[in-house]
Amino acid sequence: MSNIGTLSMEWQEKIAADLTRMKVEGPSLINVEIEKTRFTTTLVIQPDEETRQKIHEAITPLANMFKGLYIQPVEGLHISIQWSDQQTGDEAQLASLISQINPPALEAEFILPFPSKPNLFAVVIPKNNSLWMAKIREKATSAFSKAGYQSKLPVSLPSLWMSLVRFTTDFDLKDLEKVTNDLSTVSIECKKFTMFLAKANPFFDKDTLRILSSKEF
């Protein structure tokens, strides 16, 4: 797999471990229609539309080579900061608390795709602030807690990644070796982002997406 040597040793070890696990246990297969009905309260950052289009164009040829790979829609490409599947928190309070968070500038490099058990994903490398996610996730987790939501992502998790392609129940496991071994990675950079809080399914479908707070940076 090209370009893995450009990643930090921590990322190289994560990718190698998850790839080994996937080959032993098989990928996590989803039913897209069922996933579309699962909604969470989610805080994400999203690169600008031009960058998302470049990422989508880079991954589409690979995904179209094999049956049963579901490409994340352009409008749904995102990096999760924090999320909760609870429905009992104070939504208005959370939106107010999140709106008070001012994310610092972020210059990031997206290196993609890499395989993992749940998906093909992009490693996101902050170029100007290695602790960007750690600082924002800590503030976000505090906001979720104050508003009565139980967070899903560990506050100590500093990594940034973006899900690109999911394995579905229609995926032929005979193709797994080829999918994971024939990946040629590309690098895409971005300096414009939007942070937003939303009630959304994993694909951020336009018809059901409800944005509660939004801020460009």
Each residue of 65-119: pLDDT tens digit?
999 999 999 999 999 999 999 989 999 999 999 999 999 999 999 999 999 999 9
Burial (0-12, 13-18, 19+ Cβ within 10 Å), 174: exposed
pLDDT tens-place string over residues 116-165: 999 999 999 999 998 999 999 999 999 999 999 999 999 988 889 999 99
Query: Which uninterrupted H or E stretch holds 196?
Result: strand 193-200
pLDDT at 4 over 80: no
How many CA atoms, within 13 angstroms, populate the side-chain half-sphere of residue 69?
22
Write out the two tokens for 129. Answer: 């602030």
Cα(198)–Cα(159) distance, integer angstroms: 21
Cα(150)–Cα(82) distance, integer angstroms: 10
Strands 69-71 and 186-190: unpaired
Query: Which uninterrupted H or E stretch holds 180?
Result: helix 176-181
**Helix axis angle, 132-146 relative to 91-99, nearest 10°?**
150
Cα(188)–Cα(111) distance, integer angstroms: 7
- Determine the residue type at 25: E
- Determine the residue type at 126: P
In order of start, what are the domains of the chain with their CATH numbers? 4-216 (3.90.1140.10)
Q: How far is CA 213 from CA 121, 128, 136, 197, in A?
A: 26, 25, 15, 5
Cα(144)–Cα(43) distance, integer angstroms: 10
